[in-house]
């Protein structure tokens, strides 16, 4: 794949310290490619550093979030293939050719999957492991790194889901699950990350909970029965056990058991209708 068909999109907020070292490494490796740095309301000289290296800069007047920066870059990019990587210097630009080579094998998106040594700390490694298992269960596909921001993707297919992507840090979560639900091919390439300079913009507690909510939100949107069916089953079996308990101890059928049975039926029907709506959303059409 020639680099003239590639656009490299880098979201950056107050990353001047990292970009001044990162851009000289990146530029020789992607010669001929379009490089876009989306300056997400930085208060440092991020924009000036990019201009000094001849890189295209699109600046937000204020910080809108990592996902919003990704969407801005994707809309502005002219390449047939988009490569996203963070501006904090953690992703190695030397890995870009590996992702592009894998994409040429017929995949629609290739994700750089971090190994355990590349996780920032043990808490984040555990959290990412939980996210990966949950999302794999929801999508029915093995997801090796749900939250990796380093990926190469076919531009036209990525833009189909721009309206779904959140403005915060969880855009990779939504993007990955959307591709699987749409039936697109996703591959993983193992990568190792480097230590960033400065402090991460991710709040482990706040953004960790947000990632978890996004998983269930996207799961409900794309595979509703995988969320609603277990919930319905839980109400049904709780009602059954409660009925048996009250029948054996009191010799009667209680109102609580009836409520639990009715709730189980309603939750199942809601999931069934949601599944049909989802199928209609993803039927083949010209998007």
Over residues 20-56, the pLDDT tens digits come to 999 999 999 999 999 999 999 999 999 999 999 999 9
**Token digits of residue 1:** 């794949």
d(CA 196, CA 200): 8
Query: Which CATH number is 3-222's, of 3.90.550.10, 3.40.228.10, 3.20.20.80, 3.40.50.1580?
Result: 3.90.550.10
**Alpha-carbon distance values, 212 to 46, 70, 117, 146 (Å):** 31, 20, 23, 11
Q: Which pLDDT does position 287 carry in this prediction? A: 44
Q: Which pLDDT does position 221 carry in this prediction? A: 66
d(CA 279, CA 29): 42
Span 78-105, pLDDT tens digits: 999 999 999 888 899 999 999 999 999 9
**CA angle (204 as vertex; 200, 208 as ends), nearest 5:** 125
**Token digits of residue 95:** 């890995």
Residues of the chain with pLDDT under 70: 1, 117-124, 196-208, 210-211, 214-215, 218, 221, 281-287
* CB-based burial label for 260 (10 Å; 0-12, 13-18, 19+): buried
d(CA 235, CA 238): 5
Q: Where do the structural domains in the chain lie, given as residue ranges? A: 3-222, 224-281
């Amino acid at each position: 794949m020639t680099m003239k068909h590639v656009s490299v999109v880098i979201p950056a907020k107050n990353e001047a310290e990292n970009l001044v070292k990162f851009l000289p490494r990146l530029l020789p490796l992607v010669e001929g490619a379009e490089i876009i740095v989306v300056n997400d309301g930085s208060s440092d000289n991020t924009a000036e550093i990019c201009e000094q290296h001849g890189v295209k800069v699109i600046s937000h007047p204020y910080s809108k979030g990592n996902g919003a920066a990704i969407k801005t870059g994707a809309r502005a990019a002219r390449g047939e293939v988009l490569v996203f990587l963070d501006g904090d210097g953690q992703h190695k630009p030397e890995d870009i050719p590996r992702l592009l080579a894998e994409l040429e094998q017929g995949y629609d998106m290739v994700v750089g999957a971090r190994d355990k040594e590349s996780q920032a700390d043990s808490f984040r490694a555990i959290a990412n492991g939980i996210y990966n298992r949950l999302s794999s269960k929801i999508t029915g596909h093995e997801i090796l790194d749900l939250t990796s921001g380093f990926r190469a993707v076919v531009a036209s297919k990525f833009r189909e889901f721009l309206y779904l992507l959140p403005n915060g840090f969880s855009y990779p979560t939504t993007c990955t699950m959307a591709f699987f639900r749409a039936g697109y091919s996703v591959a993983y390439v193992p990568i190792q990350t480097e230590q960033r300079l400065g402090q991460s913009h991710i709040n482990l507690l706040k953004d960790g909970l947000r990632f978890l909510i996004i998983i269930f939100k996207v799961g409900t949107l794309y595979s509703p029965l995988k969320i609603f069916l277990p919930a319905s089953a839980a109400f049904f079996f709780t009602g059954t056990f409660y009925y048996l308990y009250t029948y054996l101890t009191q010799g009667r059928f209680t109102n609580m058991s009836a409520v639990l049975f009715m709730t189980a039926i309603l939750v199942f029907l809601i999931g069934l209708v949601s599944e049909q709506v989802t199928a209609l959303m993803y039927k083949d059409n010209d998007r």
